[in-house]
Amino acid sequence: MTAAAGAPLSLRFHAAGEWPDGTVDSAGDLILSPETDAALAAIAAPVSVKAKTSVFRQGDAAASVYLIRSGAMRVAHQLEDGRNQIVAFSWSGDLFGLADHGVYLNSADALTDCDLVEFSRPALKSLFLKEPQLQGDFLVEAIADLRMSQRHLLLVTHQRVTKRLAGFLVECARQPDCYDPKTGVLSLIMDRTDIADYLSTTVETVSRTIGALEEQRLMTRIDLRHVHLDLAGLQAMMVR
Amino acid sequence: MTAAAGAPLSLRFHAAGEWPDGTVDSAGDLILSPETDAALAAIAAPVSVKAKTSVFRQGDAAASVYLIRSGAMRVAHQLEDGRNQIVAFSWSGDLFGLADHGVYLNSADALTDCDLVEFSRPALKSLFLKEPQLQGDFLVEAIADLRMSQRHLLLVTHQRVTKRLAGFLVECARQPDCYDPKTGVLSLIMDRTDIADYLSTTVETVSRTIGALEEQRLMTRIDLRHVHLDLAGLQAMMVR
DNA sequence: CGACCACTTGAGCTCGCTCAAGACTAGTGG
DNA sequence: CCACTAGTCTTGAGCGAGCTCAAGTGGTCG
């Protein structure tokens, strides 16, 4: 995890969902006023992390909140019984660093090389006092995260793993970074274990279930990390 | 669902978790500045709903956000395949009314008679412009909701229903409204189907699992809706 | 007292977990 | 260029928790 030189940042906050006119741009990114943008940039520290390295661990003193400029992160929670539940995959424009009682609730690891922006919590807090409407932007982000968390809940509570996996693939295909709608090819950024930990199942079952979806012609493997999706078919099978 | 006469409201926002000094009071409720409190009260419409009635349905045009003054609500999402996943039980001090694309994402039903406060979204939006730091209070709420949603996720992803149920009982016992730490007696406000839909299992399994916990002496039934808990024991079994 | 609803109990079956091999991939060094 | 190795992924076989359907019990309200 290395600090990069501090050029102007032009921060992009991605806000999934719909918002009042003037809140988000055509790409679904938050529109910050020039003042808040400048104020944010003033306290923003660029950070680069290499793939498969950790940004922070669950239980660490929560010093910062992070914004992803490029790359993808894995946010996971380790339970006392040894389980490792992935709480979210986070993409460029997403914030991460949820904390409680002064410590991070989850661990954050880079899936790919990432460019991050680090905001120290105290700095953010005092900036909130100076630029109160900045809280509105973070509110929008928090609500977007809440929606994502509920979607995840609905996904993992499907009794049949086939449905969970289908839903997961559809979710992934919403990420422009890794899905090409022209070709229908999805790049899987994470390994089978990550998928299992996200869907709350086992590697073996993920492997077998991918096989099952292939037999149903709902997906085709190109190689381990690239698959062709039948999006309509996958969505249809979620209903049945 | 009836509107009550509009006396001064003294709104209480419950913010689970820890916050900077001066943000919450000893009961864990948000401290609003007198100005924001007054401004909020000006756009707040008191609403009373009777037990087992609906406040809004998933898909309805999202006109408002609601704060619970007293009582308990069930927030659930109906999936296309017929499943009914309870997303949260909400208690006094909680907000509900999550929306996207102008419609509610979930349905909200009263478990008990409830006193609510309704904030119209447009009114809230314009109030945010006048009182920007009010967004900070809603930010705190949204983050608290996000944490709860993640806790719920961790709960329902336990493979063994015994653990889910144990965790659920422990969660319930954190609600002062329905748990008496003196006697260790928990009042279950919801029926078995609700528990099943919250834990993503079936009524039958809930019933059997309650039996199993009783055999392990981790809980004792007083009647259908009242149980005595061995909190320490329940928490211990979550780990194994 | 009867009817309805919520809850419990029973029996069988199935999906997915577990443990255990085996196959494939990629990275390393001779 | 080809072993060698370590990590990842797949496949196999057996078992068990929980789902399903179905019947039975108990509480509540007219």
Number of domains forming the structure of chain B: 2
Higher pLDDT: A38 or B146? It is B146
Residue A26 shares a structural domain with residue A96: yes
Q: What is the pLDDT of residue B229?
A: 97
Same domain for B178 and B97, yes or no, is no
What's the mean per-residue pLDDT of chain B? 91
Distances (CA, A) of B203 to B156, B193, B196, B198, B208: 15, 5, 5, 11, 9
Lookup: tokens for B123: 């009114």
Q: What are the two backbone dihedrals, phi and then psi, of residue A18, each rounded to the nearest 5 degrees?
A: -110, 145
Residues A40, A129, single domain; the answer is yes
Q: What is the pLDDT of residue B133?
A: 80
Residues A7 and A106 in one domain: yes
Q: Which residue is nearest to nucleotide C25 (CA to C1')?
A: A224
Which residues is B88 bridged to in the sheet? Answer: B75
More confident: A24 or B142: B142
SS3 A162: helix
| Residue in chain A lying closest to B235 (CA) | A80
| pLDDT higher than 90, residue B78 | yes
Q: Which amino acid is at B70?
A: S
* Strand ranges, E, within chain A: 2-3, 44-49, 54-56, 64-70, 73-78, 84-90, 95-96, 99-100, 103-104, 107-110, 114-120, 179-180, 185-187, 219-223, 226-229
pLDDT tens digits, B183-227: 999 999 999 999 999 999 999 999 999 999 999 999 999 999 999
Q: Do residue A17 and residue A113 come from a single domain?
A: yes
Q: Which residues pair with B180 in a beta bridge?
A: B185
CA dihedral angle for residue B159, residue B160, residue B161, residue B165, rounded to 10 degrees:
-100
Q: What is the pLDDT of residue A5?
A: 43
* A221, A174: one domain: yes
Contact A146 B146 (CB under 8 A): yes
Q: For chain A of 240 residues, list the mean pLDDT of each consecutive stretch of 10.
A: 52 73 71 79 93 96 96 96 96 96 96 95 92 88 97 98 98 94 96 98 98 96 95 94
| CATH number of the structural domain spanning residue B88 | 2.60.120.10
**B124 and B69 inside one domain:** yes
Are A3 and A46 spatial neighbours (Cβ–Cβ below 8 Å)?
A: yes
> Which residue among A89, A116, A149 closes a domain?
A149
Chain A positions in Cβ-Cβ contact with residue B17 (cut-off 8 Å) = 100-101
- Alpha-carbon torsion (A47, A52, A53, A56), positive or negative: positive
Domain end marker among A149, A183, A208: A149
Task: Enter the tokens of residue B24.
Answer: 């919450």
- With beta carbons under 8 A apart, name residues in chain A contacting B106: 150
Taking the CA of residue B209 and the nearest CA in chain A, the distance in Å comes to 18
Host H or E run for residue B171: helix B161-172
**Structural domain boundaries, residue A64:** 2-149
User: Which one-letter DSSP state was computed for residue A4?
Assistant: P
Which nucleotides in chain D lie closer than 7 A to a protein CB? 8-13, 17-22, 27
Residue B62, pLDDT > 60, answer yes
pLDDT above 90: residue B230:
yes
Q: Are residues A139 and A168 in the same domain?
A: no
Return the residue of B nearest to A101 by Cα.
B18
Closest CA to the C1' of C17: that residue is A202
- Residues whose C-beta lies under 7 Å from strand C: A 159-162, 200-202, 204-205, 209, 223-224; B 159, 191-193, 203-204, 206-208, 210-211, 221, 224
pLDDT at residue A54, as a whole number: 95
- CATH code assigned at A178: 1.10.10.10
State whether A59 and A133 are in the same domain.
yes
Chain A residues touching B65 at Cβ < 8 A: none
A chain contacts of residue B103, beta-carbon cutoff 8 Å: none
- Is residue A63 domain-shared with residue A87, that is, in the same domain? yes
Together in a domain, B125 and B31: yes
pLDDT at B54 over 90: yes
